[in-house]
Each structure stands twice: as structure tokens, then as C-alpha cells.
Structure 1
Amino acid sequence: MPHTVRYRPQLIDQLISAQRIASYSKVFTTKSDAELVGVYLWNAYVCAAFYPLLCTVEVTLRNAIDTALTADLGKYWWKKGTLQYKSFALGAAKAPYPLDQITGNFAAAFNSAQKDRSKRMGKRFKGKPDHHEIVAKTEFSTWEFILENEFMGNNLIWPKHLGKVFRGTWPTSANMLLTCKDRVALVRTFRNRIFHHEPAWKRSNVTNEKQAVAHLHEKAEKITELVSWISPEKIDLLEKSGVLKKVHRACSLSEIERFKYLSQVSSIDSMAKFVEVAEAARANDDTVRIHISGTQNCIYELNPI
């Protein structure tokens, strides 16, 4: 049982770190080290639930932009001289910052794709990686930089391709490009927290469990909204596959209690009782813990889909 684990000094103070675990103790109500580490594990569970949603928004965004720009400018649309920008000046010594970042990111992606091909072949690959290999290796920041106002104007990629990239219902905004760029920046920052194993719930004004859960729901809704601007079909997939439901279920007070080992176990002694518990789990969208009477002392978790 978790309560028999020896948490200190090595597990909490060294392997998790006293500084990291302290941020949890300030926000979450815990009465033991088992509950405290339980909340820490809940954060890992939340990060795992967000992973498919974050991957979806990143892949959907980059593919939507790349498809539109490739059709217009060719497979290597990101090259200087091909990707035009607002402040272009003949003979200028330096390109604007967004263009430098985009071309730099694609250069790094080219090298990374080339190294991957070499590993697969078992020898050095000196050729040019396929277009999709390069695009797949780009940093998420690439797709934030391409939404800069530097590329907005007559004969430039925006607003020419906005309707091709963002095919869903647009938000009410005087500046769609800026709104999208700001949303991508928000998603990228949150994605980096998730991928670097930082507390997903953390924000300056989050001081208790309820606020932590509310903050996570807000992030999930903003990420989902960005996907909806790009592709209604992807939203349909996320809903019907249960990805969105899993995120919202993970970000709940009941799941925090479960990871603290405080949730109740329902004893199942008949099919009628099982149906009753299962229906309650479905109605509340909760994970419930059950024990089937007459069996060994095993606890099962029942997840509605």
C-alpha cells in the first residue's frame, strides 16, 4: 500500500526535490507524505491526459499552414527569397526577426531529419530529407513566428491564406491573425510546461485545489478552441474518441482525492449493484474504485468512456 512506502528522505527530498514538492504542499490539502506524493502523481496523470490534445493542436496547426503555403509557394516556402515579408527593403543587411527564426528553425529541422535518416540507414545520409520529414522536425515556435504581422499585407501569405488554414468558426476579433498568434503562444507555453514535467496547474493566482482545477479546465478549453478554429473535423474526432472527456475528467477534485488514496471503494455483491455504480460513474464522469465481493482483496478502477 502507498502508506507503507518510505517517502523521506530520499524519495521526496532528493528524487522529487524538496523545492518541487513544496509548491504542492502550499496549494493542495494533504495530511501525510502519501497524500502529498499522490498529488504529485496526479499532476503526471494530468500531463499524460493533455498529451494527445497538445499533439493534435501542434500537428493540426503545422500541417494546415504547410499545406496552404506549399500549394502557393512550393515545398520549400520557408526559404529566404521565397517567403516575402512586409518590411522588405532591397539590399537590407538583415532580415526581420520572425523570418530569421523561421529559417533558423527549418535549418535545424533539416539537420535533425538528416540525422534521423542516417540512423535508420545505418550510414551517413548526405541527401535531402523529404518535405514531410523536415516539417515534422520543426519547433512549435515556428508556427507562432509565421503568424507574425510581418507576413500580413498585399501579396503576402496573410490574409491571403487565413481562410484556408483556419477553416472553423473564427472568434469575434478585430485582428484574427494577432488573436491566433497569441493563442498559439499560450498553447506553446503550456505545452512546454507539460513536456518539461513541470506542475501543469501552476499559476501565480492559484492558491488552492479548486483554483488549480479551474485553471486546467481553462487551458483545455483554450487549446480545444484553437483546434476548432483550424479544423471542425479534428474537434469531432477529439470528442468522439474520448480525448476531451479524459482531459476534463483528469482535471477534477474527485481525481485529486483518488490520487490521495481518499476515494471510497464501492463493494459489488450483485449485478444490480455493479450497474448502479457504473451508471453513477457515467453520470458524474468519475473514475470509481470497486471491490467485487467473494474475490481476493483486489481493487479495480471503473472508467466511463
Structure 2
Amino acid sequence: MTATNDSHAWIPKALSDARFGKYMEACGGDVAAAFRLYVWTVRVCGAFYPLLHFAEITLRNALHSELAAQFGREDWWAVAPLTGHGQNLVKKAQEKVSVRKSAQNANKVVAKLTLGFWVSLVSETYDRDLWVPALHRAFPHYGQRRDDLYAELENLRNLRNLVMHYAPLNERDLRADHVALYRLYDYLSSGLSQAMREIDQVPNVLWLR
């Protein structure tokens, strides 16, 4: 990988070929253009971060609340019919906070469970055991198929992982992602969308592209 002039010579080495090469490829080998795309990606990730933060927190709290009510205990994972993979994710969360398996420590465990774990609870695997008796209530403004919702949540998870790692986003339809986030807000809470619009900087950063 070569730079177009001395002022750009530092960029490939500082950012590494493995990371920066994807931007170079997207910009036809133009280092200056690739760096502008890289900077824009950092900005758009920063703009999406608070929106994703509130989506993830609201989602996990809604699911946790319904499962705690369904099983009559805050540490519902101790009795819920989780898969082996789900149980392993709970165990890892417990290990991260070094707590015993007790109800008073449930909130600490909830905070450490991954978004992937929460999204998996809406998958077909748990349709009869969790979705039908409890988890559909976590989305009071959603009345469609569970599998369609699961697909939306998987898209959210993928976007979240890209944003958290400042990965290239130039091949994603970020405007569609933005709309999807607000759709999820509306499924979960009647007041969340308006609150997010007051802090939302994504449209401004997308315009800069």
C-alpha cells in the first residue's frame, strides 16, 4: 500500500494495512479519499452510539422484566429453559461480575449479558417457552410475526457490533438502519422515539458523506 504524497505517508502505517486496506479498496487506492472515509466512519459510529445504547438498554430491561415476572424471580435464568449456549452466556456474565447465583445480584448479571444473548431469546428456539407466554409483552406496540421482529433485532445486533468496532459502514444502508432503530423504539416504548430525536446526530453526519 502506498500513499499519494508525503503528507499521507503516515496513514497506512498508523492505521495498519489490515484495517485501512478496506477503505483503500472502497476508494480505489486513493489514500486521501480513504482517510476521509475513515474519519467519516468514526463520526457516524459516534453518532449512532447513543441511539444504539438506548436501544440495547431498553430492549434488555424489557425482556428481563417480562421474564422475571413470568418465572417469579429476578434471577429467572436459574429456572428458565435456556439452551446450553444460553446457559454458558449467563455463566460468563456471572464470572465477569464475580457474584454468586443469587437474586440480589441479578441486575449485575443482566448488565453483563450480551446483546446477542437478549436477541437470541426472541429466536425460534424459544418461541413456545418464552415468546408466547411472556416475551411478546416486552413489545407492547408490536403486533406482527415473531420471526420478523427477530430479523430486525439481528440487524440491530450486526449494526451495533460494527459501530462498536468502528468497522467500515460504506456498504450498509445507514438510512434504513436509522429508520429501523426508530421502529424498534416504537415497539418498546411510546416515549423513546421523541427522546432520541432530541439527541440524534445521525442525519447530520450522513449528510456529510
Shorter-chain TM-score tier: 0.7 to 0.9
Gaps of 5+ in 2: none
**In 1: Cα distance, 2:180 partner to 2:66 partner:** 24
Residues 94 and 101 of structure 2 are in contact (CA less than 8 Å); yes or no, is this contact kept in structure 1? no
- Alignment of 1:242 with 2:199, yes or no, is yes
Aligned to 2:121: 146
Residues 12 and 18 of structure 1 are in contact (CA less than 8 Å); yes or no, is this contact kept in structure 2? no
1:5 deviation in Å? 8.0
Which of the numbers 106, 126, 147 marks the counterpart of 1:131? 106
Cα distance change on mapping 1:162 and 1:199 into 2, 3 Å: same
Residues 116 and 157 of structure 2 are in contact (CA less than 8 Å); yes or no, is this contact kept in structure 1? yes
Q: Encode CA deviations 1:209-266: one digit per residue, 9 max, x unaligned.
A: xxxxxx1111111122122211122112112x232xx1111112xx13xxxxxxxxxx
**In 1: Cα distance, 2:68 partner to 2:101 partner:** 21
Aligned to 1:160: 133
1:28 deviation in Å? 4.7
Task: State how many pairs are aligned.
Answer: 203
The DSSP-based 3-state class of the residue aligned with 1:78 is helix
Identity of aligned residues (%): 21
Gaps of 5+ in 1: 85-97, 115-124, 204-214, 257-305
1:41 deviation in Å? 0.7
Q: CA RMSD in A?
A: 2.5
Cα distance change on mapping 1:250 and 1:5 into 2, 3 Å: farther
Aligned to 1:76: 75
TM-score (norm. length: structure 1):
0.60
Q: Report the residue type matching 2:7 in the other structure.
A: R
1:105 deviation in Å? 1.0
**In 2: Cα distance, 1:188 partner to 1:238 partner:** 18
Which of the numbers 41, 62, 75 marks the counterpart of 1:43? 41
Residues 138 and 188 of structure 2 are in contact (CA less than 8 Å); yes or no, is this contact kept in structure 1? yes
Q: Report the residue type matching 1:223 in the other structure.
A: L
**In 1: Cα distance, 2:25 partner to 2:124 partner:** 41
The DSSP-based 3-state class of the residue aligned with 1:54 is helix
> Which has the bigger relative contact order, CA under 8 A and spacing at least 6?
2
Residues 77 and 83 of structure 1 are in contact (CA less than 8 Å); yes or no, is this contact kept in structure 2? yes
**In 2: Cα distance, 1:168 partner to 1:70 partner:** 20
State the structure with more CA Rg: 1
The DSSP-based 3-state class of the residue aligned with 2:77 is coil
**In 1: Cα distance, 2:139 partner to 2:147 partner:** 13
1:76 deviation in Å? 1.6
1:169 deviation in Å? 4.3
1:162 deviation in Å? 4.0
Aligned to 1:295: none
Cα distance change on mapping 1:164 and 1:197 into 2, 3 Å: same
Q: Report the residue type matching 1:23 in the other structure.
A: K
1:77 deviation in Å? 1.3
- Alignment of 1:104 with 2:61, yes or no, is no
Q: Encode CA deviations 1:92-138: one digit per residue, 9 max, x unaligned.
A: xxxxxx61222111111111112xxxxxxxxxx77856211110000
- Alignment of 1:54 with 2:52, yes or no, is yes
**In 1: Cα distance, 2:30 partner to 2:101 partner:** 60
Q: Report the residue type matching 2:137 in the other structure.
A: K
Q: Report the residue type matching 1:194 in the other structure.
A: V
Q: Encode CA deviations 1:187-222: one digit per residue, 9 max, x unaligned.
A: 11111111112112235xxxxxxxxxxx11111111
Residues 93 and 113 of structure 2 are in contact (CA less than 8 Å); yes or no, is this contact kept in structure 1? yes
The DSSP-based 3-state class of the residue aligned with 1:130 is helix
**In 1: Cα distance, 2:152 partner to 2:137 partner:** 18
